[in-house]
Amino acid sequence: MVNTQTSPKPDVWLKAGYWMVLANVLFFACAVYFFQYGVQKNIFWDENYHVTSAQRYLEGIAHFEAHPPLGKMLIALGEQLSGANAGLDKHVLTLDKYIKGEDLPAGFQFTGMRLLPTLFGVLSCLVFYWLALQLLRQPLYAMLASGIFIFENAYIVHFRAVHLDSFQIFFTLLFIALFVRVWLAQRALRTLEFCVLGVLFGLAVMVKVNALVLGVVFVLLVFYQLPVRGDIVGWCRYCVGGALSSVAGFVLVVVATFSVSLWLTPVLPDAATPLYEKDRPWMSETYVRYLRGERAFGPQVVGQAVLDYVRFMNQDHRGVVKYDPDSPDEAGSPFWMWPFQYKNINYRWDSNNGLTRYVQLAGNHWLWLTGVLSLVASVAVIVWQRWSGMLLEGRERQLYRLLEMLVLLYWLTFALHGYLSAQRVMYLYHYFLGLLFSFVIFLVLLAWFIERWQPDYRWLLTGLGLWLGVAISCFVHVSPLTYALPLSEAQCQRLNTFHQTVKCVR
């Protein structure tokens, strides 16, 4: 007989309040993101670019970048708040878009510029738990299931550096969580909710433009809320009102982001610097006159500067080399192999006394496998449901439709990066959005399973506990590469037992 109880009984050992569970999530999030924080004192991967951008914001020097300004401004804010390099002359960082580690000023510390990316990683864990709680409706279920995000090694190693992705993932998660909250309430979105979604959408795009794929959610929302009969006029009003509100929120963020960026950087680069040579050709006369103090700050200046910035991003994107599968030093990878963690990236290694420390973009094998299997199972559920035509009602119907939307969003994200891969080299971390969607699909599939089959809570807790135990074991297995712990060659080779994770230094 199937147990119809979906929530635990109030047994003493299960009396875990919302705040206690939230405290546990916060504890583990802080533990995995701040462990060994500050130990890595060397620059690696895209930090060579982002530390220079952040410093230009701190010194007010105008510039263009390959990505929109928001992430760089947040990195600069972390440096300013921390005071890690107070009193240190860092002007050398502003001269060009790239700096080598040996050219950094003596005594430079990364703890300030790495602060906000790391903190946003922790906050993303809390938002993921909130999303899981809405879907699973039980704190213990949500806490256990949140392990799929908290113990993901690839996120941790990348988010703890001077990189942009933790900001984008945070805003994307907030977008999904708010949408799911309204969707499961089985009501139409209100005008303010459309606007807030537009704002969150804009914030994610202002970090990295590949978040534009989230715009598909608005289109799918309209499609899934087509009127069955009658009230076409009301539906059209709803669509127009929602579109105007979401676009208004999006445009507000874009304008505000670029306005703040221009306000923070009113100084034209020194003509004797490489930065000037690279950016000046893309600066319009309107923008240059503002930087020279010949024109007041205003809408026309902002609009022209945004166009200049977009033109620069477009040419910069086209200037990136293409993927070369025959090169032994190629760190990029084909997009169709990303779900299988092909071509983990070695960000840095340092050897001393027969031991080597690696900073490696290596994911949690168990969690990536969970994501892939969740996607496969979801496609199977969708095919079965569409073929059987079984009537779904209430929450189960909403969960199923949400599953369809997320699977489509995942494949569209995959297609977008496939298109980009045809133009330039792409790396494993470009799969981070797709990986996030696969994790959310896992939550929705689990929620649908609970709603449909109503398993005994003891069996479900046991299953989730065992799953999480494997996830933590795999996290610990990969963690020396996440936290740059010293490894002998033999210890390093053991990390390749199940998957070619790292190229060990002899």
% the chain with pLDDT above 90: 69
Q: In b/e form, how buried is each residue of 419-449, taking b as 16+ CB within 10 angstroms?
A: ebbeeebbbbbbbbbbbbbbbbbbbbbbbbe
Label each residue of 298-330 as H, E or C. CHHHHHHHHHHHHHHHHHHHHCCCCCCCCCCCC
Q: How many CB atoms lie within 10 A of CB 308?
A: 18
Higher pLDDT, 41 or 368: 368
Q: Choose among 234, 389, 287, 331: nearest CA to 63.
A: 287
Residue 294 has a CB neighbour count (10 Å cut-off) of 9
How far is residue 202 from each of residues 26, 195, 205, 265, measured CA to CA in Å? 27, 10, 5, 21
**Least confident piece of the model among 71-80, 114-123, 250-259, 353-362:** 353-362
- Rounded to the nearest 5 percent, the helix, strand and coil shares of the chain are 65, 5, 30
DSSP character at residue 350: E
For 189-242, what is each residue's pLDDT tens digit? 888 999 999 999 999 999 999 999 999 999 988 888 766 556 788 778 888 888
Model pLDDT, residue 230: 60
Give the torsion sign (CA, 299, 304, 310, 316): negative
pLDDT reported for residue 51 = 94
Structure tokens given for 108: 């430079």
Percent of the chain with pLDDT over 70: 96
Class of residue 398 by CB neighbours under 10 A (exposed 0-12, middle 13-18, buried 19+): buried
Task: State the CB neighbour count (10 A cutoff) for residue 166.
Answer: 28
CB 99 within 8 A of CB 120: no
Determine the Cα–Cα distance for residues 433 and 413; give it in Å rounded to an integer. Answer: 8
Cα gap 140→461, rounded to integer Å: 8
Express each pLDDT in 459-500 by its tens digit. Answer: 999 999 999 999 999 999 999 999 999 999 999 999 988 888
pTM reported for the whole predicted model: 0.93
* Structure confidence by residue, pLDDT tens digits, 130-182: 999 999 999 999 999 999 999 999 999 999 999 999 999 999 999 999 999 99
Q: Give the DSSP H/E element, type plus range, for residue 487.
A: strand 486-487
- Under the banding of pLDDT at 50, 70 and 90, the label for residue 2 is very low
Q: Is 274's pLDDT higher than 50?
A: yes
Write the pLDDT tens digit of every residue in 448-469.
Answer: 999 988 888 889 999 999 999 9
5 — pLDDT class (breaks 50, 70, 90): very low
Asked whether the predicted pLDDT for residue 14 surpasses 70, the reply is no
Identify the pLDDT of residue 229: 53
Neighbours of 201 (CB within 10 A): 24
If DSSP codes are grouped into helix, strand and coil, which group holds residue 200? helix
Across residues 52-79, what is the average pLDDT?
Answer: 95
- Residue 269 phi/psi, 5° resolution? -60, 150
Measured between alpha carbons, how far is 3 from 98 in angstroms, rounded to an integer? 61
504 contact partners, CB below 8 Å, separation of at least 6: 356, 487, 489, 492, 493, 496
Condensed to tens digits (0 to 9), the pLDDT of residues 380-420 reads: 999 999 898 788 888 999 999 999 999 999 999 989 998 88
Alpha carbons 263 and 259: distance in angstroms, whole number = 6
Q: Write down the mean pLDDT value for the chain.
A: 90
Token output for 490: 């033999």
Place of tokens 């990029």: 332
Q: Which amino acid is at 35?
A: F
